[in-house]
A and B are shown apart, each in its own frame.
Chain A
């Protein structure tokens, strides 16, 4: 057998609460992060992601306390993202209980940071998050593709997402979290073409994010998009699909998933 495809519920937090919006705006309160994390742990999540989408500088201490509280309630790995801009900030987040740290805007602005963090903490602890938006045909050049956007999807960078993915892996990223900003929060399904373009360009694992409406989207992300893990937020928070149901559907499609006795517990 081989490594299992991971199902990762994602907690987008701001001001200490889990929120979810459409395309990073129109936020709706979804509850307490550590309580939700504990629920997902019980329900068979393979990993939990905690992303601080506010990432306000004044909220840094609050975020560390939240990481500590969330880590305490987990028996599975915790990936934390939002606002890490230095080796010492990453160290603080790891020391608070995170197993992996995602960096996004900071990595674009300072690619050497990816290498510095990978050297210090090991590449497996460094996840580069890539928020990508489909280029409107002819807007920048004739080639189809995706460009990297930063600051929660608000700023375009003009950087090609696939080229950046390749570079991020070369710089030392141990994993890539690929979010389609076009699909995020829309429940229109993952951008499978984006996933395939990136997963075939790199040898590090790729996590699919942005747009999942149901288990069928997990299957296409893995089988058609080559993703190694699938991440989703609102469909789990609102119990549109349970982690156990998602895994059962994936397993039926021939995708190896971790089965847990606890997965069936409501």
Chain B
């Protein structure tokens, strides 16, 4: 029997690593925590989880030597999934605290303006813009769980990275895909069965990538 897909969950000190790890395990992955670049060796995919602000998370990643390691990982075309804050860290920078982030996707993290209530907490509709393996088996308009006050705004020249949008006050990008890098603003690990399917789809992507297929 083939070894399970190995997923390294990046530990930058913010977020519910437990539920992310459990959801990946339920999808058949072998999960480890990565606190240093060495911890990513042997992994087939990495997950960047997190809630909260960008600056403390980036400070931790820098201190742990993980910023360069994650950039190289993405540059090699290996699978990355950012969740919530993890999605925001994929961008160039964040207006929340001025943090410079990983710069894997051109654009910024900006405040969700015009919303009746902030933070945006709860289940909301995810409207798909195009097909992607990450959303296999997920209905267009599925309700998924959000908890955030900031959103990503991909740069106009890479507008096509947007995979899905959601409305709260205004319409914002709730999922992106750019090469092997994907990110979602909601929490699939806490989004019921549909969320578990998205996690399983990512593990499937990682399996294809390992087998040499396109991510």
Could you tell me which A residues sit within 8 Å of B by CB distance?
1-6, 41, 46, 68, 71-72, 74-78, 94-100, 119-125, 174-175, 203-205, 228-229, 258-262
Between A and B, 19 residue pairs with Cβ closer than 8 Å are A46-B122, A71-B22, A75-B23, A75-B191, A75-B192, A76-B190, A78-B190, A96-B18, A99-B19, A100-B147, A120-B56, A122-B85, A124-B119, A124-B147, A124-B148, A205-B117, A205-B121, A228-B121, A258-B143
B192 touches A77 (CB 8 A): no
B146 touches A3 (CB 8 A): yes
User: Which residues of the other chain, B, contact A124 by a CB distance below 8 angstroms?
Assistant: 51-52, 119, 121, 147-149
Q: Among A5, A96, A258, find the residue whose CB has the most chain B CB atoms closer than 10 A.
A: A258
Given A121-B51, A121-B52, A205-B122, CB of A71 within 8 Å of CB of B18 = yes
Q: Which residue of A lies closest to B56 (CB)?
A: A120
In the bound assembly, the distance between CA atoms of A246 and B143 in angstroms comes to 18
B122 touches A3 (CB 8 A): yes
Contact pick for B123, options A6, A72, A125, CB 8 Å:
A6
B118 touches A203 (CB 8 A): yes
User: Which residues of the other chain, A, contact B52 by a CB distance below 8 angstroms?
Assistant: 120-122, 124-125
Known: A46-B123, A98-B16, A124-B148. 13 other contacts (CB 8 A): A1-B124, A2-B168, A3-B122, A74-B190, A76-B192, A99-B51, A99-B190, A119-B53, A125-B52, A203-B118, A204-B118, A205-B119, A261-B193
In the bound assembly, the distance between CA atoms of A259 and B139 in angstroms comes to 13
- The A-contacting residues of B in range 46-63, CB under 8 angstroms, are 51-53, 56
B122 touches A228 (CB 8 A): yes
In the bound assembly, the distance between CA atoms of A182 and B124 in angstroms comes to 33
The smallest beta-carbon distance between A92 and chain B, in angstroms, is 12
Could you tell me which B residues sit within 8 Å of A by CB distance?
14, 16-19, 22-23, 51-53, 56, 85, 116-125, 143, 145-149, 167-168, 187, 189-193, 195-196
In the bound assembly, the distance between CA atoms of A94 and B120 in angstroms comes to 20
The smallest beta-carbon distance between A41 and chain B, in angstroms, is 8
Contact pick for A262, options B51, B120, B123, B192, CB 8 Å:
B192
The binding surface of chain B is classed by DSSP as: mixed
In the bound assembly, the distance between CA atoms of A172 and B201 in angstroms comes to 36
In the bound assembly, the distance between CA atoms of A203 and B169 in angstroms comes to 13
Q: Which residue of B lies closest to A199 (CB)?
A: B117
User: Which residues of the other chain, A, contact B147 by a CB distance below 8 angstroms?
Assistant: 77, 99-100, 124, 174
User: Which residues of the other chain, A, contact B123 by a CB distance below 8 angstroms?
Assistant: 3-4, 6, 46, 258
User: Which residues of the other chain, A, contact B195 by a CB distance below 8 angstroms?
Assistant: 75
Q: Which residue of A lies closest to B192 (CB)?
A: A75
Q: Among A68, A76, A119, find the residue whose CB has the most chain B CB atoms closer than 10 A.
A: A76
B121 touches A4 (CB 8 A): no
A125 touches B51 (CB 8 A): yes
Given A4-B122, A258-B143, CB of A123 within 8 Å of CB of B149 = yes
In the bound assembly, the distance between CA atoms of A175 and B22 in angstroms comes to 26
In the bound assembly, the distance between CA atoms of A262 and B14 in angstroms comes to 31
A122 touches B168 (CB 8 A): no
In the bound assembly, the distance between CA atoms of A32 and B146 in angstroms comes to 28
B187 touches A77 (CB 8 A): yes
The smallest beta-carbon distance between B187 and chain A, in angstroms, is 7
Given A121-B52, A124-B51, A174-B121, CB of A262 within 8 Å of CB of B22 = no
User: Which residues of the other chain, B, contact A119 by a CB distance below 8 angstroms?
Assistant: 53
In the bound assembly, the distance between CA atoms of A135 and B93 in angstroms comes to 49
In the bound assembly, the distance between CA atoms of A258 and B56 in angstroms comes to 33
The smallest beta-carbon distance between A121 and chain B, in angstroms, is 6
Given A124-B148, A262-B193, CB of A97 within 8 Å of CB of B121 = no
User: Which residues of the other chain, B, contact A97 by a CB distance below 8 angstroms?
Assistant: 16, 18-19, 22
The 7 closest A-B pairs by CB, nearest first: A122-B52, A97-B18, A258-B123, A258-B143, A4-B123, A3-B122, A124-B147
The smallest beta-carbon distance between B188 and chain A, in angstroms, is 10
Contact pick for B120, options A3, A122, A125, CB 8 Å:
A3
In the bound assembly, the distance between CA atoms of A98 and B147 in angstroms comes to 14
Q: Which residue of A lies closest to B23 (CB)?
A: A75
A175 touches B121 (CB 8 A): yes
B124 touches A95 (CB 8 A): no
A228 touches B117 (CB 8 A): yes
In the bound assembly, the distance between CA atoms of A229 and B56 in angstroms comes to 30
User: Which residues of the other chain, B, contact A204 by a CB distance below 8 angstroms?
Assistant: 117-119
